Chains A and B, each alone.
Chain A
Amino acid sequence: MNKESSQRTAFIIFRILGIIVVSILLWILGFIIYNGMGVISWEFLTAAPAEGMTAGGIFPAIVGTLCLVAGSMIFAFPVGVMSAIYTNEYAGNGWIVKFIRVMTNNLGSIPSIVFGLFGMSLFVNTLGFGDSILAGSLTLGLLALPIVIRTTEEALKAVPSSYRTGSRALGASKLQTISRVILPAAFPNITTGLILSIGRVSGETAPILFTVAAYFLPKLPTGIFDQVMALPYHLYVIATSGTDIEASRPVAYGTALVLIAIVLLMNLLAAFLRRHFSNKWRAER
C-alpha cells in the first residue's frame, strides 16, 4: 500500500470506530428517553413516591441527590483546589510531592464501594454523624477529591510560567500571584474538573448506600443530619427490590432519565461557564 491509500484506510477505520462509539452513546440515550419519557410529568418531578413506589413521583430523590452533590462539592472543591495549589505552586518537586501525586492517583482508582465502607466506618460510626447528608456528602467528597486535584493540577500546569515571573517581577507576592493571575487564568479548566466530579458524584450508588441513602423517605430533609433518598439508589431499589418490580419499571426509566438530564444540564452549565470565562480574556497559547 502506498502512503496515500494507507492514510485513507486508517482514516476510514478511525471514522467507523468513531461512528460506532457515538451511535452506542446515542442508543443508550435514546433508549432511556424512549422508555422514560412516558412517565415524566409535573407530578413525577414534584411528588413523593406512592403505592409501593410504582406511582407518584421522585421529588425527594431529586432533592436528595442535589443536596449530596452540593454537600460533596462544598467539601471536595476547596480542599482539592487548595491541595493542587500546594503541590503545584508551593511544594517544589521533591519526593513528598511525588508521593502525594502517586497517592492521589491511587485514591482515584479505589472502587467506590470501598469509599462507602470507609465512610460508614469513619463518618457514620466513629464520628457519630449517623446515616446523614453530612456523612454521605463527605464520603462522596472523598471520591471526588482525586478528580478535582488532578484536573486542577493540569489547569495550573497549563498556565504559562511567564505569568508567574511577570507578576513576581512587579513586586507581587506568591499568594497575590496565585490569586490574581494564576487562578483566574486556570479557572476555565478548573471548572471542567468540578463538572466532571459532579457527574461522577451524582451517579454513584455505592458510597451513599451505607452512609445516607434512604430506601423510602417521602419527607424532605431539614438539616445536614437527616437521611435522604437519592436518584441512583432509588433507581437501584425500584429496579431490584420494589414491591412490584414490573409495575415500577417505567418509574425506573423515568428516574434514569431525570438523573441523566441533571448531569447533562450540569455539563452544559460548565461548558457555558468555561466559554464565558475563556472568551473574556482569550488566552493565547
Chain B
Amino acid sequence: MIEAKNIDFYYGSFHALKNISMTMEAHTVTAFIGPSGCGKSTFLRLFNRMNDLIDGIRLTGECLVQGANIYGKSVQVDELRKTVGMVFQKPNPFPKSIFENVAYGLRVNNLGDKKFIAQQVEESLIAAALWDEVKDKLKKSAFELSGGQQQRLCIARALAVSPAVLLMDEPASALDPISTSKIEELIHQLKKDYTIVIVTHNMQQAARVSDKTGFFMLGELVEFSETKKMFLNPEKKQTQNYITGRFG
C-alpha cells in the first residue's frame, strides 16, 4: 500500500531522514513515535508531498503509494493529495461555514454537482462522528465548534474527497482527554476503509490505536514492528529506554 525505500531527506544541508525503508499495509494503523525533532513529521509529509512547500529540500530514495512512485515525473501533486489526506496537529478549519469546510476539497477539485456534494458532506461528517452534533448548524462558522469538534471537522474535511490514506500528525495532542478518546475511537472505525498513519507523542495512544509502530531517533528508523511486540518486547535497547521513559 505505502512503501518507502531507502529514503534520505535533507533540509538544506541538514540530513533529516537517514536511509529509511518501511512498508505499511492497507487498512492498518501505523504509529510513529520518537523524541521531538527526530523526523516523524518530515517522514509523514513525504507521502502527500507537503514537504514540497518548503524551500531547499532534497530527497533520494523511492516512495510508493498504491504501487505508484509518487515522486515520478508524471505525478500530479494535487491529485496525490486527494488520495492521501492529512490531519494536522492543531485543528485548522477555514474561516467558512461547517458545510463549506467539508465541501472545500470537493469544490477545489471540481468533484460532483450540488447534490453529490451535499451527500458527501453528510457522509463525511457521519464518518467523522460529528454529524449528530452539527447537523442543525451546518451554515454556522466552523469556529463556533469546540477544539475537539474542530479536529473531527478537519477529519471529515479530509475524508470528503475519498482518500485511500489518512496521515495524522499528532491529531489529538491539542485536545482534552475526552476529545482525545473520541478521536482514537474514530481511528478504530476509519481503519476499515482507510490506511492510517499517525504520529503521536503518547505511548499509550500508540499502543491503543496502532497495529504497527515505528520508533524514530535522530532521523533513523530504529525499530519497526507489531505494536504489541514493540511495547512488550522491543528488540533494541534504545526502544526499550524510550518507551519506558528512560530516554535521554
**B-binding residues in A (CB < 8 A):** 92, 160, 162-163, 165-173, 176, 180-181, 184-185, 280-284
The prevalent SS among residues of A at the interface is helix
Q: Does B143 lie within 8 Å of A169, measured CB to CB? A: no
Q: A284 CA to B93 CA in the complex, in Å?
A: 10
Chosen A-B contacts, 18 in total, with CB atoms closer than 8 Å, are A162-B90, A165-B92, A166-B88, A166-B154, A167-B108, A168-B50, A168-B81, A169-B158, A170-B104, A170-B105, A170-B109, A170-B158, A171-B79, A173-B78, A185-B94, A281-B96, A281-B141, A281-B143
With both chains docked as a complex, state the minimum distance between the C-beta of B166 and any C-beta of chain A, in angstroms.
11
**Which of A160, A166, A170, A184 gathers most chain B CB within 10 Å?**
A170
For the complex, is B55 an interface residue (Cβ under 8 Å from A)? yes
Q: Does B94 lie within 8 Å of A172, measured CB to CB? A: no
Q: Does A176 lie within 8 Å of B90, measured CB to CB? A: no
CB-CB nearest in chain A for B83: A171
**Which of B78, B82, B144 gathers most chain A CB within 10 Å?**
B78
**Contact partners of A166 in chain B: CB under 8 A:** 88, 92-94, 154
Q: A160 CA to B188 CA in the complex, in Å?
A: 31
With both chains docked as a complex, state the minimum distance between the C-beta of B134 and any C-beta of chain A, in angstroms.
15
Q: A168 CA to B158 CA in the complex, in Å?
A: 11
Q: Does A180 lie within 8 Å of B108, measured CB to CB? A: yes
**Which of A163, A165, A169 gathers most chain B CB within 10 Å?**
A169
Contact-residue bracket for chain B: 20 to 34
Q: A81 CA to B88 CA in the complex, in Å?
A: 30
**Contact partners of A171 in chain B: CB under 8 A:** 78-79, 81-82, 105, 108-109, 161
**Contact partners of B85 in chain A: CB under 8 A:** 169-170
In B119-161, the 8 Å CB interface with A consists of: 141-144, 154, 157-158, 161
Q: Does B158 lie within 8 Å of A283, measured CB to CB? A: no
Q: Does A282 lie within 8 Å of B94, measured CB to CB? A: no
**A-binding residues in B (CB < 8 A):** 48, 50, 53, 55, 78-79, 81-82, 85-86, 88, 90, 92-97, 104-105, 107-109, 141-144, 154, 157-158, 161
**Contact partners of A284 in chain B: CB under 8 A:** 143
CB-CB nearest in chain A for B53: A168
Q: A170-B109, A282-B144 are in contact. List 10 more A-B contacts (CB 8 A).
A: A92-B55, A163-B95, A168-B50, A170-B104, A170-B161, A171-B82, A172-B104, A173-B78, A180-B108, A281-B143
Q: Does A170 lie within 8 Å of B81, measured CB to CB? A: yes
Q: Does B95 lie within 8 Å of A169, measured CB to CB? A: no
Q: A92 CA to B54 CA in the complex, in Å?
A: 10
**Contact partners of B154 in chain A: CB under 8 A:** 166
